[in-house]
Structure 1
Amino acid sequence: MRGVKWSVLVGLWLFTSLLAGCGGQSAEPAIVTTPLQIDMIIKQKDSEYWNTVKLGAEVAAKEFNVKLNFRGPDRETDIEGQIKLMEASIQAGPDAIILAAGDYMALAKITDQAIGIPVITMDAEVASARPVAFIGANNYASGQLAAERLSTLTGPEAEIGIVNFVKGARNADQRLEGLLDYLARYPGISIMETAYCGADQELAYRQAAAMLEKHPGLDAIVALSGEGGLGVGRAVREAGLVPKVKIVTFDSPPAVMEMLQEGTVQATVIQNPFSNGYLAVKQAVEYIQGLEVPDRTDTGTKLIDLNNMMWPENQKQLFPFVR
């Protein structure tokens, strides 16, 4: 299997997953004759992760007769742009808004203004009492997962760099908190530097290259996003430090999985973006129809390495579908 091109595997498994998601679900919400209007406002409108979220949301929209407006800024760091999208959505008055907040505090005020419009948060929370539900990963636990594997790779004495994504995003902060809390049990592990790449692969590459030059004794870098992992992997590879400098990252874009196969990346913590999108739309419909929805839905994470990436149960999460 290692000789098979990873992009081909992605296509085959994702196609199978989509079929499973479309045909294998029993829909609790009633199918309405007039389409419901639901706005989904995400952090960045074009990336591997968010495109998979969109696929899941579109499957649910088709299943439950929803007109889905999928919107997001060009960059995850464009918090003001996301606030403006929320303002426009509230003005339009859809049946529900699904929000993946780019900044926990900055999106709170505008979310508070969504009076009479149900708000579901997905992927990252917001500091507002308005949302009726959250769908996404347990990001603190995800950070702990990454730290546990990192400490195994480096041992109890190590110098480590961190490349996070957007400072102020709730999931970014929680992943970092979980990582640092776990590593605190090892007094010999030193965090040499923490950078924020804004989910920008090129910036992550430059930051990682600078870390490697500034800290020649660096043993590992943990990237807390997929885009960050791609930039870090490229920097370590170009510096000729594979496999001396270990890399633990997040998410499973095809390029990260190829780096895992070739040994540049040692492990990645994967989420379930397809299920995030699908369940956010489904629970929005349920809430609109007066059905009970859970306050929190944990869509799960798992640590993947070269040893377990081809296990059938892990393929289901690498190429996510709704169970």
Structure 2
Amino acid sequence: MNRTVKSTLWVLVAISLLILTSFSYTSTNDLVNPEKAKKIHMIAKMGHGDYWNAVKMGAEVAAKEYNVNLVFKAPNNENDVGEQIKMMGESIKQRPDAIILSASDYMALAQVTDEAAYYNVPVLSMDAEVASAKVETYIGANNYEAGQKAAERMIELTGTDSQIAIVNFVKGARNADQREEGLLDYVARYPGIKVVDIRYSDSDQRIASQLTKDILISHPDIDGIIALNAEASVGVGREVKNMGKGGKVKVIAFDNPPENMDLLQEGVVQALVVQNPFNNGYLAVQLAVEASEGKHIPDRVDTGIKLIDLDNMLWPENQKLLFPFVK
């Protein structure tokens, strides 16, 4: 990438981060009419990371627009399913107008989700689904399709006779399972491709780095690694770079935190499967308001995915996706 394009990219990143920081200090309680405001709880998988910061920002923008008192809650770690169940129980006791849930475990959150419906608290599923027929809608990417797209691009890079590995995030999370399933179903079309390892990082960059190191040592002839969420992607890309395998071992990553963008520019990561977390948060709050008012809402809202690489990352429509905070 030439210096001018690289400079333009990082100006956009800097502006995005500046605006994100300014929003992070704004409480929605200061932006709504408290007498008429809807009370909506959003329970995310974890409370940190660029992806979840963008989700929260989208939700806060919608909360301001729709006069919502938004309560955002999340465990410190994405694999802390017990804490998420506890948070759901606490929210149900407070009887909000609606709950938005991104379930860390598809099955484990089902019972407490059903409990919310018993108390007439609508639950909307965002980012990852939950095994409850009581959920009003799902807002997020088509995760099976995302896994297929990742596999398709990897095969374009490594050919149909290659060895690849998968670094997933939390086993049992619906979106993790769907991405892996889509990936493996696509790879199954090609008998010459061998998936030599599948690991789970618990959405921890350090764990993902260590797993990647183990994979690279155990499989010295490996051709590529696919990482299935933002935290796993940063850890994989970082370790591939540290071990001097950048460009030699192909990497398909998920989401667009700044470090992933940097690794893409350096040729360590070849492509990003990018979701729209800002829209996920915004639309979840908008639809939660409608659900709380008894309005009909769609069963599913697909917020889309795109495959971003060096050739298309600065296309205008992709800039809006990569830098949603820049007008």
TM range (shorter): over 0.9
Q: For residues 273 and 193 of structure 1, do their structure 2 counterparts lie closer, same or farther at Cα, with a shift above 3 Å needed? A: same
8 Å contact kept, 1:53–1:276: yes
Name the residue aligned to 1:297.
301
Match of 1:43 in 2: 45
Specify whether residues 7 and 93 from structure 1 end up closer, same or farther in structure 2 by C-alpha distance, changes over 3 A only. farther
Query: Paired residue for 1:133?
Result: 137
The whole-number CA distance in structure 1 between the counterparts of 2:166 and 2:180 is 9
- Say whether 1:2 aligns with 2:5: yes
- Displacement of 1:139: 0.3
Find the residue that maps to 1:39 and give its secondary structure: strand
Identical-residue share of aligned pairs (%): 56
Equivalent position of 2:277 in the other structure: 273
Q: TM-score, normalised by structure 1?
A: 0.92
Amino acid at match of 2:13: V
Counterpart for residue 27 of structure 2: none
- Judge conservation of contact 1:7–1:254 (CA < 8 Å) in 2: no
Do the aligned partners of 1:14 and 1:320 also contact (CA within 8 Å) in 2? no
Q: Distance in 2 between matches of 1:10 and 1:118?
A: 37
Separation of aligned partners in 2, 1:55 and 1:225 = 19
Secondary structure in structure 2 of the residue aligned to 1:162? strand
TM-score, length of structure 2 as denominator length: 0.91
Indicate conservation of the 8 Å contact 1:109/1:128, yes or no.
Answer: yes
The runs of 5 or more residues in structure 1 that have no matched partner are 18-30
Which residue of structure 2 aligns with residue 285 of structure 1? 289
Distance 1:13 1:91 in 2: 37
CA distance in structure 2 between the aligned counterparts of 1:311 and 1:229, rounded to whole angstroms: 23
Measure how far apart 1:57 and its partner are: 0.2
The alpha carbon displacement at 1:319 in A equals 2.2
Letter in 2 for 1:3: K
- CA–CA distance in structure 1, aligned partners of residues 282 and 105 of structure 2: 23
Is the 1:142–1:269 contact (alpha carbons within 8 Å) kept by the matching residues of 2?
yes
Q: What whole-Å deviation, never above 9, does each CA across 1:243-267 have from its counterpart, x for those lacking one? A: 1100001000011011001101000
Matched, 1:263 2:294: no
SS at match of 1:287: helix
Please tell me the residue identity of whatever aligns with 2:7: V
* Matched AA of 2:301: T
Cα distance in 1 for residues equivalent to 2:242 and 2:107: 38
Q: What is the Cα deviation at residue 14 of structure 1?
A: 6.9
1:223–1:232 Cα contact (<8 Å) kept: yes
- The 5 Å alignment of 1:114-263 reads 114=116, 115=118, 116-263=120-267
CA deviation map 1:118-163 (0-9, x unaligned): 0011000000111111100000000000000000000001111110
Q: In the alignment, is the contact (CA less than 8 A) between 2:34 and 2:69 conserved in 1?
A: no
Q: 1:185 to 1:286 in 2, by over 3 A?
A: same
**Paired residues of 2:12 and 2:323 also in contact (CA < 8 A):** no
Given the alignment, which residue of 88, 100, 103 partners 1:101?
Answer: 103
Distance 1:189 1:273 in 2: 32
What CA distance in whole angstroms lies between the structure 2 residues aligned with 1:310 and 1:222? 23
Deviation at 1:37, TM superposition (A): 0.6
SS at match of 1:3: helix
Q: Structure 2: where are the runs of 5+ without partners?
A: 21-32
**Counterpart in 1 of 2:322?**
318
**How many pairs are equivalent?**
312
The offset of 1:12, in angstroms, is 2.9
Aligned 8 A contact 1:38 1:95 in 2: yes
Aligned to 1:44, the other structure's residue is in SS state coil
AA matched with 2:201:
C
Matched letter for residue 161 of structure 1: A
RMSD value over aligned CA atoms? 2.1
